[in-house]
Structure 1
Amino acid sequence: MATKESIYFNGMEVRFKLDEHDTNKQMTMFECIIDAGAKMPVPHYHESFDEAIYGIEGVVTYTIDGKETEVGPGDSAFVGRGIVHGFENRTNERIKFLAVITPGIFGPAYFTEIAAVFNAGGAPDMGKIKDILMRHGLVPVMSK
């Protein structure tokens, strides 16, 4: 498999290792590298796929179904379909984790589209962000 390009936005770099084309849509696998202090813009859940996380460097704090879970090197976490979650880097150092998605219906297109909105300059258009999330099977959950 050829090396895939990195996608960078909002303090997060994504490097796909396997995408839907490599696995006949059975799974996707990517590294997330998160800058110090960065977090996902909005908690969300996945309609049609599960996600497993494996810590490589540093500690990422996931909130899964309302419970905080720290994932460090060698640790793992599972986020099933329909479970609200989000993550952030609360540390002063860069962190890295591996994400595996099954089935492989979620791939680089989502991150490329989101990056285009965040990297356009100025405040991101949250309406566009929500549309992209929904189109790719991620349902945003706004705080009350």
Structure 2
Amino acid sequence: MAETAETISIGGLLLEFLHDKDETEGSVDVFRMTVAPKGRVPVPHHHESWDETLYGLDGTLTFTIDGRDIALQPGQSAFIRRGVVHGFRNDSDRAASCLCILSPGVLGAGYFREIAGLLVGGGPPDPAAVKEVMLRHGLVPAVTAG
């Protein structure tokens, strides 16, 4: 059982890791993701080697999964199979959150730490640097960054 969650802030995202690949010996990554009002992930992507299960906790997050918008509300779940392009956004005026479960656990908190590091300085990150970090960690952008 994790004693404390690692919290990582990336722009309008707050990630609270409950379990990660290192603690679970690669079995699973589990984290709560809170998305700021009107927040979005700018690059639709797919994962090469893990599936993602989502469970709505608070508010409504809109996930675009394989070209279909799905409004994830508290108590609802969605499954994203590896290789399926997806992204998400919070269209509302209040924060929304979900529980994210990645199986197997091959991503870990390190990816998010690196992306957060690219945002130091307040300006937009270098798209080529973001793409390089994504690809190195097994996330494949659906569009060319840059």
Q: TM-score range by the shorter chain?
A: over 0.9
What's the TM-score once normalised by structure 1's chain length? Answer: 0.96
Q: Distance in 1 between matches of 2:51 and 2:64?
A: 15
Q: Which residue of 2 aligns with 1:21?
A: 22
SS in 2 for 1:45: strand
Q: Which residue of 1 aligns with 2:80?
A: 79
What's the TM-score once normalised by structure 2's chain length? Answer: 0.95
Q: Structure 2: which 5+ runs fail to align? A: none
Q: Deviations over 1:42-84 (max 9, x none)?
A: 0000000000000000000000000000100000000001000
SS in 1 for 2:32: strand
Percent identity over the alignment? Answer: 40
State the AA in 1 paired with 2:103.
Answer: T
**Displaced runs of 4 or more, over 3 A:** none
Q: Distance in 2 between matches of 1:50 and 1:119?
A: 30
Q: Which residue of 2 aligns with 1:46?
A: 47
Q: Distance in 1 between matches of 2:100 and 2:120?
A: 23
Q: Distance in 2 between matches of 1:5 and 1:134?
A: 23
Q: Which residue of 1 aligns with 2:107?
A: 106
Contact 2:20-2:28 within 8 A present in 1 as well:
yes
Contact 1:44-1:139 within 8 A present in 2 as well:
yes
SS in 2 for 1:7: strand
Q: Which residue of 1 aligns with 2:135?
A: 134
Contact 2:22-2:108 within 8 A present in 1 as well:
no
Contact 1:9-1:119 within 8 A present in 2 as well:
no
Equivalent positions of 1:85-100 (< 5 A) are 85-100=86-101
Provide the aligned length of Structure 1 versus Structure 2. 143
Per-residue deviation at 1:122?
1.5
1:120 aligns with 2:138: no
SS in 2 for 1:127: helix
Q: Distance in 2 between matches of 1:46 and 1:74?
A: 24
Q: Distance in 2 between matches of 1:77 and 1:44?
A: 16
CA root-mean-square deviation: 1.0
Higher deviation after alignment, 78-87 or 4-13: 4-13
SS in 2 for 1:15: strand
